[in-house]
Amino acid sequence: MRGLLDQIKNALVYDADKEFYAKLFPDSVPRIDLLRMRKMNESDLPEVLAIERQNYPFPWEQDIFTDCFKAGYSCWVCEEEDKVLGYCLMSIAVGEAHVLNISVDPAEQKQGIGRKMLEHLLSVAKGRAETVFLEVRPSNPRALTLYQNMGFNEIGIRKDYYPAENGREDAIMLAMQLF
């Protein structure tokens, strides 16, 4: 029984009190606080892939997501009721966490969802990793701003890391120390 309760808690992260108050007083709770982080599963992939294909010129295909599930990576969707608004994936091993993908439906960007998902990943990594790493294209100022505002520091450049329209693009490598 205890195991089952832990599994439910682990799969669904939200504040039930907030939902209760939101029903009674709809204007009292900001929308961002009502969005739920939930573990991603195979049935989310059609929605996830639709967002992925809109957001990236070189999107991940379905097999990369299923490989992440198989590897036991931390894979999450951010949803409003039953609609997926964004998703994020992170690996954790030997004290290092790597944010592999973080992506918000273009129609839902600039409303704090990216920040909410990253905060969630950091809370998952706390206690399990000492450092969180991620890479970003220099041509992606929005993502870079988000990461820097949240306390990530630039630690280097990976030359020709990403495929690009005209050849390859470097990656800016960022890291955050967790205490």
142 binds ligand COA per the rule CB under 6 A: yes
Cα gap 144→136, rounded to integer Å:
7
Cα gap 46→43, rounded to integer Å:
7
Stretch that binds ligand COA, among 7-15, 73-81, 133-141, 154-162 (CB under 6 A): 133-141
Of 81, 147, 154, 161, catalytic: 147
Chosen residue from 90, 143, 172, 176 binding ligand COA by CB under 6 A = 143
Beta bridge partners of 162: 169
114 binds ligand COA per the rule CB under 6 A: yes
Three-class DSSP category at 73:
coil
For residues 146 and 127, the answer to whether their CB atoms sit within 8 Å is no
Chosen residue from 46, 95, 138, 141 binding ligand COA by CB under 6 A = 141
Question: 74-113 mask for ligand COA (x: CB under 6 A)?
Answer: ----------------------------xxx----xxxxx
Q: Tell me the three-class secondary structure of 104-132, residue by residue.
A: ECHHHCCCCHHHHHHHHHHHHHECCECEE
Is position 135 annotated as part of the catalytic site? yes
For residues 100 and 125, the answer to whether their CB atoms sit within 8 Å is no
| Active site amino acids | 135, 147
Q: Which residues bind ligand COA (CB under 6 A)?
A: 55, 102-104, 109-115, 136, 140-143, 145-146, 149
